[in-house]
Structure 1
């Protein structure tokens, strides 16, 4: 149960010398947890984290927010507990102390309300980063996300852009139940006007979030809660304050010649481990990390499938109308005659996520599922030949 005892934060905008300033209205309150005292904050995580050879995803996201807040005074962060509590997952740690309540704004527990404020401020040129404690809660604000943010550029004849980022944890976590575990990649990926990003490792989280904040269009940034604390190597280039990754460009994580596995987010890690096992059985799997669900890097997928002649898609979302469906449709349209076997889909069970841990494990793809389906795809094609 979520309870809020505070009055809503009130935003107003003043226009001075053609610049937009964000202020706090009279009587506004940015405190969300009156009975919880946050520990003293240090300086922004980015001041320390970006000099490391390794970084976890949490610190990568924090450093990206920190640097973009410094770079552009029009950027601000808002959401439940992003300020004094430093974020439900500590993604905004240190930012309130560094930038103040005008740019790191705690909100009441009303997703429809603060999302509407964020979209409205983006209409006027600000660049909000709206955090949802869970992307599942964004359903409360779906009208603002789709009907206002995603459609405005088209409805205004290209005159009004909406530079806003909606971010938060998405998909299965660990025993948090059906209302906190849904994957929304396919939902948002089907909507014109949105860009939908799903990073895997720390470098992608950092580079894609910075790119999303700088992008003139609304971006849905779907993170995975189970990856926040995982450390990954960081390249020298990724430590630069202007480092970004191109939106709409997939990454080949592992080259192969027998089968193409297309996946994204946490499933990349499982696919890579499965590929190691498959290699021992003589199957060379090429792993594509989409990174961007919309726009989709169709040329990368087509080129890979034309090389391997087999396709397996992997996602944790529901099977009907999933991301894998769109990828397979693309290949059937554009690379059908290169296929040696029918494409295969691996996805979550067609049920709401169970709460019981033993049932939850059965509702998401496993490494055994990947190995079994890939072998079936490869052996079926070889037998037919």
Structure 2
């Protein structure tokens, strides 16, 4: 036995000397692609590559909760002709939040509204919560959205329209949300268009034993998809209401910007020590990192928590905005103003046009 071990040792030593250069070359070739910074060396073996190269190991189906970047109250202000809005996006509190340009929580009482005005370069999404609003444009499009309905308007190269409230029999105000979404640069000159989404077309689901109700306006929630794509820029919109003691974990596309506007009640967002309770009329802006939003309402809450959760694909482009004109350079904004004044390059039909619904503030 000792003789065999001695012979084996002699053979190993001989091979090590004979093929020394080959072994070293092989080890060097295996490690040549890796940085030697912050690595652990094992004598006679290739260096362990740093984590930056191969990435951290991921668990199967691992999700990352989104942290809150900031939360703030939307201050009420005047807008249009006598309307009141709580604007959160498009204020000093939150700008450059691509693809979102503006978010208004509006209240339009009888005698107020948004008479004839132009747009270029963006899409507007109007979600009516109470009442009814008429719309009309210079292309002959006209219609009405009622509580629970939405209207998606693409301004494209140019449109002129009016948005006026119906006078409710009880004299109550018309209440809703309007979100402005930037258009990709290559679609800034597309033809304007309208799409209405009726409340009856929106999928609804109940989760957490009926404590959470979700309207899937656009996007996906718990395996249920929205009925159709309505905006050129990818956007998810979910209307979520949570009863006391209820909670939801809502997945969102990674890398998209996201926020939640709290319509009523108090809702806690986040997990663990980062959980924060948000009150009515506050906008909660989430960090871009992560793929889910956690929300819940306390067991002892006196009312349901109701919020709109929105996420959108950021656009890698410059935004230059002047009022209703949203382009990618100052020159394009100047051109839009000139085109509107001269009724050209998309605004030809604005010449002499006046909406019927805008002629009277009450009808």
Normalised-by-shorter TM-score class: under 0.3
Q: Which has the larger radius of gyration?
A: 2
> TM-score, normalised to structure 1's length?
0.24
> TM-score, normalised to structure 2's length?
0.25
Say which structure is richer in helix.
1
Q: Larger RCO: Structure 1 or Structure 2 (Cα < 8 Å, ≥ 6 residues apart)?
A: 2
